[in-house]
Structure 1
Amino acid sequence: MTTAPYGQLPAETLAMSQATLLCDTISTLAESPVWDEKRQVLFWCDILGKTVRSAALTHGQYREWSFPSTVSSLGLCDDGDLIIACGMDIVVLDPDSGAISPLCSIPSPEDAPFRLNDGRIGPDGAFWVGTMHNVPLAQMEPRGELWRVTASGAERMQTGLTCPNGLAFSEDGSVMWQSDSIQRWIRRRVFDKSGGTFDEGVLVAQMTEETGRPDGGCLDRSGIYWSSGVSAGLINAFSPDGTHLGATAAPVPHPTMGCFGGPDFSTFFLTSHRHNMSYERLQKAPLSGGVWVIPTTTTGFAGFRFRR
Structure 2
Amino acid sequence: MRHVSRHQHLDGRGSAMTEYRVHNRVGENPVWDAGSGRLLWIDVRRQQLLSIDPQSDEPTVQHWQLDEPVGAMALCADGRVLLALRRRLVLLDRRDGSLKPVAEVDTEPPGNRLNDGKVSPGGGWFVFGSMNDGSHKLPTGSLHVLGADGRVRRLRGGLCVANGIAFSPDGLQIYFSDSHAGQVWVAPWDEARGDMGAPRHFVFSGEAEGRPDGAVVNRRGDYLSAGVSAGRLNRFSADGLRLPALHLPCRAPTMCCYGGPSLQWWFVTSLVRPEWTAGPPQDDGQHAGSCDGSLFRLVSDGLGLPAASFRFL
Tell me if TM exceeds 0.5.
Answer: yes
Match of 1:9 in 2: none
Match of 1:223 in 2: 221
Match of 1:32 in 2: 29
Q: What is the 5 A alignment of 1:52-67?
A: 52-57=49-54, 58=56, 59-67=58-66
- Distance in 2, matches of 1:220 and 1:170, equals 8
Q: How many residues align?
A: 293
Q: What residue identity is the alignment partner of 2:127? A: W
Match of 1:292 in 2: 296
Match of 1:189 in 2: 187
Q: What residue identity is the alignment partner of 2:200? A: V
Q: Choose 71-80 or 147-156, whichever is displaced more.
A: 147-156
Match of 1:276 in 2: 274
- Distance in 2, matches of 1:152 and 1:27, equals 31
Match of 1:4 in 2: none
Match of 2:7 in 1: none
3-state SS of paired residue (2:291): coil
Match of 1:250 in 2: 248
Q: Choose 276-285 or 52-61, whichever is displaced more.
A: 276-285
Cα 1:43–1:281 change in 2 (3 A) is: same
TM-score by length of 1: 0.90
- Distance in 1, matches of 2:150 and 2:68, equals 23
Match of 1:130 in 2: 129
1:283 to partner: Cα distance:
3.2
TM-score by length of 2: 0.88
Deviations 1:114-167 (A, max 9, x none): 11011111124211111111101xx11111111111233111111111100000
Moved over 6 A (4+): none
- Distance in 2, matches of 1:299 and 1:15, equals 17
1:293 to partner: Cα distance:
0.4
Cα 1:18–1:280 change in 2 (3 A) is: farther
1:143 corresponds to 2:140: yes
- Distance in 2, matches of 1:281 and 1:158, equals 41
Question: Bigger relative contact order, structure 1 or 2, given CA contacts below 8 A and separation 6+?
Answer: 1
Match of 1:50 in 2: 47
- Distance in 1, matches of 2:53 and 2:168, equals 25
Q: Which runs of 5+ in 2 are unaligned?
A: 1-9, 284-288
- Distance in 2, matches of 1:55 and 1:13, equals 22
Q: What residue identity is the alignment partner of 2:189? A: F
